[in-house]
Amino acid sequence: MSNRVINLLVPIISIIIGLIVGAIVMVVSGYDPVEGYIALWTGIFGDSYSIGNTIRQITPYILAGLAVAFAFRTGLFNIGVEGQLILGWLAAAWVGYAFELPKVIHLPLALLAAAAAGAFWAFIAGFLKAKFKVHEVIATIMLNYTALYIANAVIKKLSDGSFKTERIHESASLRSPFLRELTDNSSLHYGIIVALLMVVVMWFILEKTTRGYELKAVGFNKNAADYAGMSVNKNIILAMTISGMFAGLGGAMEALGTFQNASIKPGFTGIGFDGIAVALLGANTPLGVVFGASLFGSLKYGALNMPNAAGIPEEIVSIIIALIIFFVASGYIIRVGLQKLSKKKEGQ
């Protein structure tokens, strides 16, 4: 059994084990797991409306996952995706309603504003890491709270004390009458195309450019990279900045696609933190992030159907997701088991 096959089987087996243990949790809690999983499936794929909303749910998870995965691949741990996403959300919403421009200019400008806001917020953590050796986990956690409170204060100021900004102009919107009609008036929008394009961008940067090679080299071994003449500090800052760009675009999906504005938030959205799980499920690869986000987003949206259709609380799905992440994180055990099984078969 090749390593490629093993790498493919580990997350699949992890997901299956997670679902089985999740079924056991439902039985112990007094719920019917068959009915529960049918309700979950129906909530995801039951009709075109559900499918459209599931894809919409997946969209920001792809970008949050890319942000975390890009940092991981370059030797960094970006816990600040949540804050970067919130500021990207605010920047996109502000540009979306503050200017009146042709759509061909307005929409790209709003997306660029979101990317720039997220990139700048991540740049701060990268700069602190490179220049003052401040660990990025500490810096980004603190910057999450700073971003949340700054965004709420700015929104309150912009909206004259109300809880949300003005609605963005149609010229800055990612919404599509065609997609809404196709999916029975769901909230599906063109953001999924932007997210998939960013998957290609991440792959291209890391695998097809000299700069991407340097970023990975610095992440793998800073001393060796420095000895080879690479600027370690410069690459740390750049890696965090690019990671923040993906996170900021994740916020733009919510501002320009789903909600069409920015509102005061009583707490974190959770999307940025869920991006850590998405990246983990996707083994920090661009394509893997798509699959991880698809699983995560589908479970999140499908969970909404479980209380009504099967009387099962949404918390059960959270437990299932946590179990899947646990078994993926414990993938080393599964990998060793598969390798031993492979060797046994070869010996026979």
> Where residue 348 falls among pLDDT bands split at 50, 70, 90?
low
pLDDT of 27-83, one tens digit each? Answer: 998 999 999 999 999 999 999 999 999 999 999 999 999 999 999 999 999 999 999
Q: Is the confidence at residue 107, as pLDDT, over 80?
A: yes
Q: Is the confidence at residue 203, as pLDDT, over 80?
A: yes
pLDDT the model gives residue 244: 98
Q: Is the confidence at residue 346, as pLDDT, over 70?
A: no
pLDDT the model gives residue 57: 96
Average pLDDT of the residues in 3-23: 81
pLDDT the model gives residue 344: 73
In 31-102, which ranges are continuous DSSP H helix? 33-45, 48-73, 81-98
Neighbours of 81 (CB within 10 A): 35
Neighbours of 176 (CB within 10 A): 16
Strand partners, 263: 164
Name every residue whose Cβ is closer than 8 Å to that of residue 207 and which is 6 or more positions away in sequence.
none
8-12, 161-165, 206-210, 245-249: least confidently modelled range: 8-12
pTM of the model: 0.93
Q: What tokens were used for 171? A: 């010229």
pLDDT the model gives residue 2: 67
Percent of all residues in the chain with a pLDDT value above 70, rounded to a whole number? 98
pLDDT the model gives residue 265: 95
pLDDT the model gives residue 169: 97
pLDDT of 123-175, one tens digit each? Answer: 999 999 999 999 999 999 999 999 999 999 999 999 877 799 999 999 999 99
Mean pLDDT, the chain, as a whole number?
92
1-24+33-39+47-344 sits in which CATH class?
mainly alpha
Check the CA dihedral 187-193-194-196 and report its sign.
Answer: positive
Q: What tokens were used for 18? A: 């997670």
pLDDT of 315-335, one tens digit each? Answer: 887 887 788 778 877 777 777
- Nearest-angstrom CA–CA distance, 281 and 330: 11
- Nearest-angstrom CA–CA distance, 61 and 38: 24
pLDDT the model gives residue 316: 80
Q: Is the confidence at residue 11, as pLDDT, over 80?
A: no
> Where residue 1 falls among pLDDT bands split at 50, 70, 90?
low
Largest CA distance in the chain: 75
- Nearest-angstrom CA–CA distance, 195 and 249: 8
- Nearest-angstrom CA–CA distance, 94 and 282: 33
pLDDT the model gives residue 12: 82
pLDDT the model gives residue 76: 96
Contact 234, 126 (CB under 8 A): no
- Nearest-angstrom CA–CA distance, 62 and 197: 11
Name every residue whose Cβ is closer than 8 Å to that of residue 318 and which is 6 or more positions away in sequence.
303
2-6, 132-136, 251-255, 281-285: least confidently modelled range: 2-6
Contact 175, 194 (CB under 8 A): no
> Where residue 5 falls among pLDDT bands split at 50, 70, 90?
confident
User: Residue 260: left (phi > 0), alpha (psi -120 to 50), or beta?
Assistant: left
279-to-95, 98, 173, 246 alpha-carbon distances in Å: 30, 34, 28, 13
pLDDT of 282-294, one tens digit each? Answer: 889 999 999 999 9
Q: What tokens were used for 285? A: 């690869």
15-19, 196-200, 216-220: least confidently modelled range: 15-19
> Where residue 106 falls among pLDDT bands split at 50, 70, 90?
very high
Average pLDDT of the residues in 242-260: 98
pLDDT of 70-80, one tens digit each? Answer: 999 999 999 99
Average pLDDT of the residues in 328-348: 74
